[in-house]
């Protein structure tokens, strides 16, 4: 017979039951993206890895998967950045400081941090892809002695769509980071590079065998970025991507994210290029 206290503890920590999270900060980053800082009930730490996601729910409504954009080293809170693209995200955008949301997770496999220790890191972020990569960047900045040289490439459609503007200025000022940003369409105040993010890769100086390239962005970007990275002779297993497919349960139960028997919410969303090459169809098409 199961001990009642053990049973209650299991129910309390079950991944099926949302934890209560209080919004302690909320602000618009752009016209479409809103930043949320959340504190879990009891001020417990989320204990996530860079690259993982949580299921965020509005009680009495529904839930959706959202990438975590803070580092595990940020204690007592975690950050989310949400683009307003539908009914749920529109409702979430209307919430503000003091409001309560439900949190399940964290879920998924994050970036292979343990394998990346001691290596140079090349980060390639397209559009909203900078959101989960912010978690990795902040982690690296907190453990800068554990990594080699860090280079960050960011691409977006217009200067107005660049996320985390103040933080990117800080990254540019740091001596251990080299950073470059490009936009598809410039305005009169833009003095940086103009063009697709692939135009930045040929100018990157790396030692292929000791470099991990981490790529997150829209699916169409992967095909062309990976071609450029392969030209740099970065080994397949050292090219890391995140497949951001829509997920519903986060537990591999509903099958909504399944591709050829692979549950992206469980086996991913982070994969290396060696793994992707074994896939066919839609999942493979995103990256080659």
Of the candidates 102, 99, 153, 145, the residue with the CA atom closest to the CA atom of residue 123: 153
Q: At residue 196, what are phi and psi to the nearest 5 degrees?
A: -65, 155
DSSP string covering 118-145: TSEEEEEEEGGGHHHHHHHHHHHHHTGG
Least confident of 104-118, 131-145, 222-236, 240-254: 240-254
- Return the bridge partners of 65, or none: 55
Q: 34 and 59 in contact (C-beta within 8 Å)?
A: no
State the pLDDT at residue 197: 94
Percent of the chain with pLDDT over 90: 66
**Given 3-state DSSP classes, what are the helix, strand and coil percentages for the chain, each rounded to the nearest 5?**
35, 30, 40
Separation between Cα atoms, residue 99 and residue 25, nearest integer Å = 10
Contacts of 20 (CB under 8 A, 6+ apart): 40, 41, 100, 101, 102, 103
Separation between Cα atoms, residue 219 and residue 286, nearest integer Å = 5
Degrees to nearest 5, angle at CA 157 with 124 and 127: 40
Instruction: Enumerate domains of the chain plus CATH numbers.
Output: 4-106 (2.40.30.10), 113-285 (3.40.50.80)
State the pLDDT at residue 254: 67
Q: Which long-range contacts (CB under 8 A, 24 or more apart) does 248-254 make?
A: 248/65, 249/55, 250/15, 250/53, 250/54, 250/55, 250/65, 250/104, 250/105, 250/107, 250/108, 251/15, 251/16, 251/107
State the pLDDT at residue 253: 62
For 254-268, what is each residue's pLDDT tens digit?
666 676 677 777 777
Structure tokens at 171: 């990254």
For 91-129, what is each residue's pLDDT tens digit?
999 999 999 999 999 999 999 999 999 999 999 999 999
């Amino acid at each position: 017979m199961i001990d009642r206290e053990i049973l209650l503890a299991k129910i309390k920590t079950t991944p099926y039951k949302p934890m209560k999270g209080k919004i302690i900060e909320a602000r618009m980053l752009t016209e479409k993206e809103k930043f949320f800082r959340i504190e879990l009930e009891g001020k417990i730490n989320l204990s996530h890895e860079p690259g993982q996601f949580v299921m965020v729910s509005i009680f009495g409504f529904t839930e959706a998967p959202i990438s975590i954009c803070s580092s595990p080293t940020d204690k007592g809170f975690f950050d989310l950045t949400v683009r307003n693209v539908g009914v749920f995200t529109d409702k979430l955008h209307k919430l503000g400081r003091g409001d309560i949301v439900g949190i399940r997770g964290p879920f998924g496999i994050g970036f292979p941090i343990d394998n990346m220790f001691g290596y140079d890191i090349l980060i390639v972020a397209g559009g909203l892809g900078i959101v989960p990569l912010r978690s990795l960047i902040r982690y690296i900045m907190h453990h800068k002695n554990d990594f080699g040289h860090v280079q960050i490439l960011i691409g977006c459609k217009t200067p107005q769509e660049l996320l985390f503007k103040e933080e990117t200025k800080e990254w540019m000022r740091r001596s251990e980071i080299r950073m470059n940003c490009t936009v598809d369409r410039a305005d009169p105040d833009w003095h940086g590079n103009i063009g697709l993010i692939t135009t930045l890769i040929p100018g990157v100086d790396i030692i292929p065998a000791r470099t991990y390239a981490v790529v997150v962005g829209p699916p169409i970007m992967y095909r062309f970025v990976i071609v450029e990275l392969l030209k740099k002779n970065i080994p397949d297993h050292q090219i890391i991507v995140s497949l951001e497919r829509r997920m519903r349960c986060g537990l591999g139960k509903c099958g909504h994210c399944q591709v050829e028997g692979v549950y992206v919410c469980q086996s991913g969303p982070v994969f290396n290029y060696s793994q992707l090459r074994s896939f066919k169809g839609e999942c493979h098409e995103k990256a080659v």
